[in-house]
Amino acid sequence: MLDIDGHSLSSADREILREPAVGGVILFARNYASPSQLSDLVAAIRAVRTPPLLVAVDHEGGRVQRFRDGFTAIPPMRDLGRAYDRDADAAKSLAQTAGWMVASELRAMDIDLSFSPCVDLDWGVSEIIGNRAFHRSPTVVADLASEFCRGLREGGMSSVAKHFPGHGAVVPDSHEQLPVDRRSYGDLLDDMRPYERLIGTRRLAGVMLAHIVYAELDAIPAGFSAYWIQNQLRDQLRYDGAVFCDDLSMKATRQFGSMATRAQLALEAGCDMVLICNDRLAAQAAVAALRDYSNPLSLVRLARLHGTGQVLRETLLASDEWNAATERLAGVSGRPELELNA
């Protein structure tokens, strides 16, 4: 899954997106100017290939919401966690509404997925996670994430939980350096409980791995680790959906070889799709190296992630459901946050 530079596809974009190793496009704030422009861009991406590429975006809410003007502001997930402490049932209903709103507005643009929800626990130490986390309690996170996923599905979108097995207990930002989590397996179980719950309820279509070394269990980051993907996620948690490796351009991965080598490590460990963003030359090298790569089971898992039930944006915005949801979400308290662009 690759990124593109601007508001429309260049000839270089089209060329690389036609490569057989490419399976999707991730959009960023730089790709958005208006709803009509975004709709045209997604249509152009769809036209590049048959069957069409997956189109994704990080649109969690709070400071991680790529499209702003013309889209409903989704509150930070921490605000839903605080609402849960006051009234659990009301907060779960709000989480479902938030998921539905994310999916409905993105599906109106024909976007397949948002990489959400973030189910990392709020241990109070990770600045990169911060208020993206619902709560410190795995039970509360599981409750709210489950309802958020239900809302996504009702809006026509699959859910992709992140960052397995858990990003909330390390201070460093993996965009800038390689974090090391030295907790024991027993101490990590709380972080994995939301995944166990979501997998058990069949509401989880995708999981994104963390670029973190869990030193007591494996010497390499989770996204390159067969221990975390095969042993823990597949065998222990019985997960059969798609597995994503987070952006391989993050500095946390650089010591593990060239971009092509990193991509191959992640795929060999069990990832179904890797992300390569903000480095077109490295992406070209990885795509070329993987030109003959094929995993039929991965293709099946990824095909399940295409969105369903697209509705016209004008019809959505005129609906009673959208207007009621907008009013409900506007009532969720929270202070403004700077957008996270990475």
CA–CA–CA angle 110, 97, 204 (5° rounding): 65
Q: Containing domain of residue 321, as a range?
A: 11-326
Annotation says 247 is catalytic:
no
Is-contact 31 7, C-beta < 8 A? yes
Q: Is 341 a domain residue?
A: no
DSSP tag of 230: I
Token output for 259: 């971009």
Q: Is 339 a domain residue?
A: no
pLDDT band at 334 (very low <50, low <70, confident <90, very high): low
pLDDT band at 336 (very low <50, low <70, confident <90, very high): very low
- Residues 200 and 196: their CA atoms lie apart, in Å, by 6
Residue 276 identity: I
pLDDT band at 202 (very low <50, low <70, confident <90, very high): confident
Q: Find the helix or strand (DSSP H, E) in which 109 lies.
A: none
Nearest to 269 by CA among 250, 287, 243: 243
What is the number of domains present in the chain? 1
Q: Is 101 a domain residue?
A: yes
Token output for 276: 């390569």
The more confidently predicted of residues 339 and 23 is: 23
DSSP tag of 83: H
| Cis amide bond preceding 163, omega within 30 | yes
Tell me the three state secondary structure of residue 122. Answer: coil
Tell me the three state secondary structure of residue 57. Answer: strand
- Distance from first CA to last CA of the chain, Å, rounded? 16
Q: Mind listing the pLDDT tens digit for each residue in 63-98?
A: 999 999 999 999 999 999 999 999 999 999 999 999
Mean of the pLDDT values across residues 94-107?
Answer: 98
pLDDT at 339: 47
Q: Is 225 a domain residue?
A: yes
pLDDT band at 191 (very low <50, low <70, confident <90, very high): very high
pLDDT band at 135 (very low <50, low <70, confident <90, very high): very high
Tell me the three state secondary structure of residue 158. Answer: strand
Residue 275, judged by CB atoms within 10 A of its CB (0-12, 13-18, 19+), counts as buried
Q: Is 338 a domain residue?
A: no
Annotation says 175 is catalytic:
yes
Mean of the pLDDT values across residues 263-271?
Answer: 97
pLDDT at 342: 41
CA torsion sign for 308, 114, 118, 95 is negative
Active-site residue (options: 175, 218, 279, 306): 175
CA torsion sign for 332, 336, 341, 342 is negative
166 torsion bin: left (phi>0), alpha (psi -120 to 50), beta (else): left
Distance from the Cα of residue 81 to its chain's centroid: 19
Token output for 48: 């590049």
Q: Is 6 a domain residue?
A: no
231-261 burial string, b = 16+ CB within 10 Å, else e? Answer: ebbbeebebebbbbbbbbbbebbeebeebbe
- Over 80: is that where the pLDDT of 337 sits? no
Active-site residue (options: 58, 122, 190, 246): 246
pLDDT at 178: 87
Q: Is 196 a domain residue?
A: yes
Q: Mind listing the pLDDT tens digit for each residue in 17-60?
A: 999 999 999 999 999 999 999 999 999 999 999 999 999 999 99
Distance from the Cα of residue 4 to its chain's centroid: 17
- Residues 165 and 236: their CA atoms lie apart, in Å, by 12
CATH number of the structural domain spanning residue 177: 3.20.20.300
- Over 60: is that where the pLDDT of 126 sits? yes
Q: Mind listing the pLDDT tens digit for each residue in 309-331?
A: 989 999 999 999 999 999 999 98
Q: Is 335 a domain residue?
A: no
